[in-house]
Amino acid sequence: MSGQDRYPLLEISIGKFVHNATEILSRCAAQGISVAGVVKGYAAFPELASALSRCGASQLASSRIRHLAELRRAGLPGPYMLLRIPMISELRDVVDLADYSLQSDLATLRALQDECLAQNKKHKVILMADLGDLREGFWHADELVRACVEVEEELSMVELAGVGTNLGCYGAIQPTPEKMHALLGIARRVEAAIGRKLEIVSGGATSSYTLVHWNTMPEGINHLRIGEGISLAYDLPVDWGIEDMDYLHQDVYTLKAQVIEVREKPSYPQGTFCIDAFGGKPVFTDRGIRKRALVAVGRADVADIHRLMPRAAGIEVLGGSSDHTILDVENYPGELRAGDIVEFDLNYTTQLFLMLSPDVIKRLVA
């Protein structure tokens, strides 16, 4: 261990990231689908966002305005897409920094028109349809079509780029060919009402890539918004039962945490129970005396400690607090001491929070 090393350390393999981006974008392109590369999960890290552009992302996208500002300051080419439906209070920045935005409210669209006029700048929008996941989007197709017609005919500075949907993020509704056909039906109604073809029919985010993988995405869906699938490729096979996605790396990210204590202790807490540091009442199993290791990373850094995945065999995550993760290392074949490093694989939750934590060092590796 070098004296220069500091922990916790999040290492990011740029080579594996580029490999995943190339594989996913090429498979989408083969089915006529462009990809907005979502940079939110790695906090708009400029080297990764630049790699997405080089791999052919049609837009760089985030739900956070400040990420788009950071990409512009880094001099990365757009266009830029805002993914979260904007607050009216941030429309000045939306027009200034984003080329596209997702929209689902007429009052916001009308206010967007006023801001575009004030800045003398046109802005493209994708109107969202809620197909059952119950997050953003027009619930009734007739209402969405009317809104599209108003944008097309009455909002001179707001350009209707297309329609889209989101599935799997809140209601855990699976993207299916039937859901995509429903979106295509709405798109065709909009096109008939406005008398022209839409630029974008956006079929969702990483979860919708499953249909590209299975080659079941209906023709006409021509856009996806993908971030997690490129960064991790973990939740896709785990959550969707995909066994043949071995063309993607699941270890783009490596969390390295330093051991600060190793001791044998009871596995069942001693004393009268109350609540833990977060107001919860954890349940414990008495497994006798076990060897345990503490590492210096906690819920303030990763949010959900139990989603950390130790790479070494024989290490089990027991839990932790804001600043500590407690590991059972009874069955670890080696000998851990204070100062040693334990490596973890990540899922989307842990990756997102680690990238946002100012206390976690980030380092690009080959």
- For residue 359, CA distances in Å to 70, 116, 146, 339 come to 20, 39, 48, 18
Cβ atoms of 128 and 85 closer than 8 Å: yes
Q: How far apart are CA 341 and CA 193, in angstroms?
A: 61
How would DSSP label each residue in 168-232?
SSSS-PPP-HHHHHHHHHHHHHHHHHHTS--SEEE--SGGGHHHHHTT-PPTT--EEEESHHHHT
CA-based diameter of the chain, in Å? 73
Q: Which of 40, 124, 179, 256 is catalytic?
A: 40
- Let me know if 40 is a catalytic residue: yes
Which one-letter DSSP state was computed for residue 264? Answer: E
Q: How far apart are CA 364 and CA 366, in angstroms?
A: 7
Cβ atoms of 137 and 166 closer than 8 Å: yes
Cβ atoms of 4 and 357 closer than 8 Å: no
Considering only CA atoms, which of 199, 226, 109, 225 is closest in space to residue 156? 109
Q: How far apart are CA 148 and CA 104, in angstroms?
A: 10
3-class SS of residue 237: helix
Cβ atoms of 201 and 221 closer than 8 Å: yes
Count the neighbouring beta carbons within 10 Å of the beta carbon of residue 297. 29
Considering only CA atoms, which of 152, 135, 134 is closest in space to residue 189? 152
273-280 long-range contacts, CB within 8 A, separation 24+: 276/321, 277/321, 277/322
Give exposure, 192-213, as e/b (b: 16+ Cβ within 10 Å).
Answer: eebeeebebbbbbbbbbbbbbb
Return the active site residues. Answer: 40
